[in-house]
Amino acid sequence: MAPRFDIDLLMPAPMMPFVMERLDQAFRVCKLWLAADREALLAGVAPRIRAIAAGGSAAVTADLMARLPRLECVAGFGVGYDAIDAAWAGAHGITVTNTPDVLTEEVADTALALILMTVRRLPQAERYLRAGRWLEKAFPLSPTLRGRTAGILGLGRIGKAIAQRLAAFGVAVHYHGRQRQADVALPYHATPLDLARAVDVLVVVTPGGPETRGLVNGAVLEALGSDGVLINIARGTVVDEDALIAALRDGTILGAGLDVFAQEPTVPQALLDLDNAVLLPHVGSATLHTRQAMGQLVVDNLLAWAEGRPVLTPVPETPARSTRGAG
């Protein structure tokens, strides 16, 4: 059966089966990862491609988009879109979309779980039990969440959802962002360093990309202090991993809970060897319910664009509708 639209769409990496099925019904989909010679395939289809469905770890760079003269829309899977050069796209009239909101509550739940796991040393306690050591003596007493102050580095949708959960646990919350938010009553700090000095749980929720690379560095970790806990559910690149490993080894901070890493899926052996690091394989939004909602939003954004309607969730750097006209 012919697709619904006379439009060629590039899919650089595999996506969820139902997403691929629905996009196959709507577009002529070029599945780049299946090609024996990807460069030859791309060269052949480049003049016809008008949209990209960006899933997995595939980067949508300025170089790639520059090769596609008719490109109008890039639909990304995920709230973070640092793998897509949205600034270049916006400057060239190309719309980029992401999948915010539908994963906010799931990621906030994961963040709170990671905080509790790290502060209370719950994974270590489970390993202790499984190793049969409880038969010998009780697991050592852990630190507590009581009396702590948490700092949210990046108070967007997810950051606010985390702050609400922490408030319900009786934890005071401060924040840092690019600017103070007029409608937020929480204490604001002008720099990450200032925030780290004021708190003992630092939760990283800021977007990735060049602007935030290494934002949490050795100085920030030192300011967090020897009772401090770092939680990162944003992007691994936001934290200087070498500085973090050193801080965990020498007791500069108490512990870290990480769902993201700089070179995913590779995790430094030095982190794996540390008992005061709780490590998760980037599962912040990884439930069937939420991933299906994210996938559906990718489809809905592309269908809206193809029908000539404004897309549902454009990123700030790009227009809601291509200046070239979807048609």
Active site residue 70: no
Reply yes or no on whether 92 is catalytic.
Answer: no
Catalytic residue, from 28, 67, 92, 282: name it: 282
Cα 311 to Cα 319: distance, rounded to the nearest angstrom: 9
Catalytic residue among 249, 264, 289, 309: 264
Rg over CA atoms, the chain: 22
Q: How far apart are CA 246 and CA 253, in angstroms?
A: 9
Q: Give the residue from 195, 196, 197, 244 showing the smallest Cα distance to 218.
A: 244
| CA distances, 87 to each of 94, 110, 134, 234, 305 (Å) | 10, 30, 55, 20, 19
| Alpha-carbon distances, residue 130 vs 121, 142, 307, 313 (angstroms) | 15, 18, 56, 46
Residue 109 to residue 256: CA distance in whole angstroms = 17
User: Residue 131: how many CB atoms within 10 A of its CB?
Assistant: 10
Mapping DSSP to helix (H, G, I), strand (E, B) and coil, where does residue 171 land? coil
Element (H, E) at 95: strand 95-97
**Does the active-site annotation cover 157?**
no
Give the Cβ contact number of residue 282 at 10 Å: 16
Catalytic residue among 121, 189, 235, 291: 235
216: DSSP letter:
B
Name the DSSP class of 84.
Answer: B
Residues acting as catalytic residues? 235, 264, 282
